[in-house]
Copies of this chain bind each other. A is one copy, B any other.
Amino acid sequence: MNDHPPQPAIILVRPQLGENIGTVARAMLNFGLTDLRLVNPRDGWPNPDAGPAAAGADLVLAQTQVFATLAEAAHDCGQLLATTVRRRDIVKPVLDPAEAASQVRASTVRTAYIFGAERSGLDTDDVAMAHAIVTVPINPEFPSLNLAQAVILMAYEWSKGSTLASPAIKPIDAPAPQQDVDALVQAFDAALEPAGYFHPPHRNAVTRRSLRMLLTKPGWSAKEISMMRGVLTALLNPRQR
């Protein structure tokens, strides 16, 4: 079993209705997924509306975890997939649900499928953290996809291959967990702030997002991230020789 990638996590960012959290849990369990994580749910957690809507998927709700930020929710995930309906200006690889599922199964690290709030979807900063975007090829004239529907399509595609005994190919350098990427981004951020890199202030948010995307794109392994941090440390603290 160690040859198989861990089951993907489903992360809902700022979900609004407890009922939708329940129907998501049900959709997940329909295809054998149980790892549900909430980022800052609007009405708190637990939510009395979730249980009835889960229609028996109580075990998913019982182990649902709540986090303050997406970075924390994805701390142990090495592959972050942002699900969107709309096109984005952000330049990231774009997958359909079947391609995403292949990529999840081919990976040895845990994947997070990330879903935005019911009305607004994921914001640009959330998408910036992801390694790729998963887009459901939906009717462009009616792109209003219910949250649980979006989840079930991902879960369904994932489950298609999950019972196949695929030969495990162990990559030498699996992508590092999100917490390592995050720490690297923060280390660069902390070094660049006093250097005046984020000037002028009104460009701050955009520049920070670009920096995050730049450092997320490589999919560096834990070892590679560690090397990059060594490079940064050397630049900041030159030794005299």
Chain A interface residues (CB < 8 Å from chain B): 23, 26-27, 29-32, 55-57, 87, 91-94, 96, 98, 135-140, 142-146, 148-149, 152-153, 156, 159-160, 164-167, 169-170, 172-173, 188, 191-192, 194-197, 199, 210-211, 214, 217-221, 224, 227-228, 230-232, 234-241
A144-B55 CB under 8 A given contacts A93-B172, A149-B149, A220-B217: yes
User: What residues of chain B lie closer than 8 Å to A232, measured between beta carbons?
Assistant: 235
Since A29-B139, A137-B167 are in contact, a sample of 5 more A-B pairs with Cβ atoms closer than 8 Å, ordered by chain A residue number, is A29-B142, A30-B143, A55-B144, A55-B146, A195-B235
Partner of A30, one of B55, B56, B98, B142: B142
Chain B residues with CB under 8 A of A30: 138-139, 142-145, 149
> Is there an interface contact between B149 and A137, defined as CB atoms closer than 8 Å?
no
* Inter-subunit contact A140/B153 (CB<8 Å): no
Tell me how many chains of this kind the complex includes. Answer: 2
Closest chain B residue, CB of each to CB of A138: B30
27 contacts between A and B (CB under 8 A): A23-B146, A26-B144, A29-B142, A30-B142, A30-B143, A30-B149, A31-B138, A87-B170, A93-B172, A96-B166, A98-B160, A136-B156, A137-B160, A139-B159, A149-B149, A152-B152, A152-B153, A195-B234, A195-B237, A195-B239, A214-B220, A214-B224, A214-B228, A214-B231, A217-B224, A218-B218, A235-B236
Contact A217 B218 (CB under 8 A): yes
Q: Chain B's nearest CB lies how many Å from the CB of A201?
A: 11
